[in-house]
Amino acid sequence: MSLPPDQDFTEPVDAPIVAVTVYPHRARVTRRGSVRLPAGRHRVFVEPLPPNLISDSIRVGGQGNAAVLGVDVVRRTRPVSPDPGVAQMRERRRVLDAEQAELADLDAVHLRHTEFLTSLGQRASASYARALAIGSAHPDAVAAFADSLTSQLTEAHARRRDLVQRREEVGREIAALERRLTAAGNRREPDRTAAAVDVEVGEGGTDLLLDLSYMVDGAGWTSSYDVRVDGEKLSLTWYGQVSQRSGEDWPECELALSTARPAETATVPELDPWYLNRYTPPPPPRPMTYPGAAYGQPAMAAPGGPPPMPSAAPMASAVEAAPPPPVVQATATVSQGVTAATYRTARPVAVPSDGQEHRATVAALDLAVVLDHVTAPAVSTDAHLRATVTNTSEHTLLPGKASVFTAGEFVGTTGLQTWAPGEEIELALGVDDRVRVERELVNRKASKATLGATRRQEVEYRIRVTNHTPRPSRLTILDQLPVSRDENIVVRELKVVPPPAERTELGVLTWRFTLPPGQPVEIFLGFRVDVSKGVELVGWRE
């Protein structure tokens, strides 16, 4: 607890915002101001501060012949106008400030809920895919889970939209109150959140330079990307989308974007005991004495991945004599920490407290890319263009939406997940109609079971892929053989020409070719299925 000051400086120190560090879900604001102080103990005030700042996060530093004894967050009350209407407006303003802080807290809670549901869906999709492949999950259960998760995400987003709408309504009402108070001759707020700094100044006095920093909720940044494909090169521009509703506008100042998560790195995870016990069946239900009882059925789900993107054909750059130099993209400077990185933008950025996104360039990367076409004719005769890219930069790229361009034209969007240095990812660039795919049933035989015999079905397919692009195309073709899950059903491979490059225990066959322009490739796939008498075959498809 600080000692009582010799003198209070009633007029606050002029300390404008000079720097802001934005985290994914919070921000640290730094103010700087100076004041001339005589020798002795003093209390100086820095105001106005946002009402929803995190009090425990406030820090004071600076320069001068003085020692900081303590800092408190206080409410400063100025003389109240005798006009009862003005008093009512001020009281209403206090209520709105409290409601605005509460809405910001609720928005943060719903954001965490939405992130949890999204993470759950991403994890569940892989698990359900494996379960469906081996037959341990029923498609109806998977669909039910998907419907449930979609419904919960829809409700969560709806709640966040309602909160945004209410916060905008509160903001408009506060702005209207401000105008009315100004018209009544009350330009200053009667009550302001302020930092009360107790300092002790040495002999002779000092010109004290104060640096005051504090954390606020209702602010954050997300990532977005521009992806431009040009032959065997991929140019990626990383943007930081900054928005905030902290209650104070940030002027043009030094802006830094940090990947640290202050609220999530304060504790180390611990494991609870993992108990095993014998299953005890529940008691039988009591007989119902009334009709019409309803039983609920839980719904469960695996969300689908992002929709396929429109086609993105590689762009051919024209060769010009002595072309002018390209425009240089100004990027942020990076400081790598132990667990996070901080990016300082190349120019000052102003961010009003209106929730609108303001974009700053974080990094521009040129990465080598391997393009190929992938097709699974048993499912669809479309050929999808795929880019395989390795992150050869020092940056850990965060999740975000990516806009894809080719030949300077926007062709679609996709989603990037967390992409670490040295990690390889695949980007789906959409359907390329210049690679034509055909799958034809060329032979089919079927025999009926006789006494003591088996039923037999025999099929042969021809797959033909033709490259109509102007350059050689790397091609990956996927098909499959059925896999029996019953000893009375036997699958025999009859013909696979040419042999596949890979095959799995689940019957997936993979061929890889490099097709010159205008050249086709053919694959023949034949197999036989023997079914014992009295066994009903399910899962057959052509």
Alpha helix positions (H), 276-376: none
Over the stretch 223-249, which tens digit does the pLDDT of each residue have?
999 888 877 788 889 999 999 998 889
Which residue do the tokens 């009709």 mark? Answer: 291
Question: What pLDDT was estimated at residue 309?
Answer: 43
What count of Cα atoms within 13 Å lies in the side-chain half-sphere of residue 474?
10
Domain shared by 48 and 193, yes or no: yes
Q: Let me know if residue 73 belongs to a domain.
A: yes
Domain shared by 386 and 421, yes or no: yes
Question: What pLDDT was estimated at residue 185?
Answer: 60
Q: Let me know if residue 279 belongs to a domain.
A: no
Give the amino acid at 308.
P
Show which of 415, 431, 447 is a domain's final residue.
431
Q: Let me know if residue 70 belongs to a domain.
A: yes
Domain shared by 70 and 58, yes or no: yes
Which domain covers residue 359, as residue numbers?
219-264+303-315+329-431
Residues whose CB falls within 8 Å of the CB of residue 519, separated by 6 or more in sequence, listed in order: 466, 467
Show which of 374, 404, 431 is a domain's final residue.
431
Question: What pLDDT was estimated at residue 291?
Answer: 42
Question: What pLDDT was estimated at residue 469?
Answer: 87
Domain shared by 379 and 482, yes or no: no
pTM beyond 0.75: the answer is no
* Residue 81 clears pLDDT 70, i.e. is over it: no
Give the highest mean pLDDT range of 225-239, 394-408, 462-476: 462-476
Q: Let me know if residue 290 belongs to a domain.
A: no
Over the stretch 117-157, which tens digit does the pLDDT of each residue have?
788 777 777 777 777 777 777 777 777 777 888 888 888 88
Domain shared by 260 and 367, yes or no: yes
Q: Let me know if residue 307 belongs to a domain.
A: yes
Question: What pLDDT was estimated at residue 307?
Answer: 44
Domain shared by 59 and 88, yes or no: no
Domain count, the chain: 4
User: Rounded to whole angstroms, how far apart are CA atoms 466 and 373?
Assistant: 11
* Residue 302 clears pLDDT 50, i.e. is over it: no
Which residue do the tokens 């072309």 mark? Answer: 323
Domain shared by 162 and 229, yes or no: no
Q: Let me know if residue 275 belongs to a domain.
A: no
Domain shared by 345 and 231, yes or no: yes
Q: Let me know if residue 241 belongs to a domain.
A: yes
What value does the mean pLDDT take over residues 485-513? 91
Question: What pLDDT was estimated at residue 121?
Answer: 76
Coil, strand or helix at 186: coil
User: Rounded to whole angstroms, how far apart are CA atoms 241 and 224?
Assistant: 7
Residues whose CB falls within 8 Å of the CB of residue 301, separated by 6 or more in sequence, listed in order: 121, 124, 142, 143, 144, 145, 146, 147, 148, 149, 150
- Distances in Å between the Cα of 322 and the Cα atoms of 325, 326, 407, 481 are 9, 12, 20, 56
Domain shared by 399 and 479, yes or no: no
Which of 15, 11, 8 has the alpha carbon at shortest distance from 30? 15
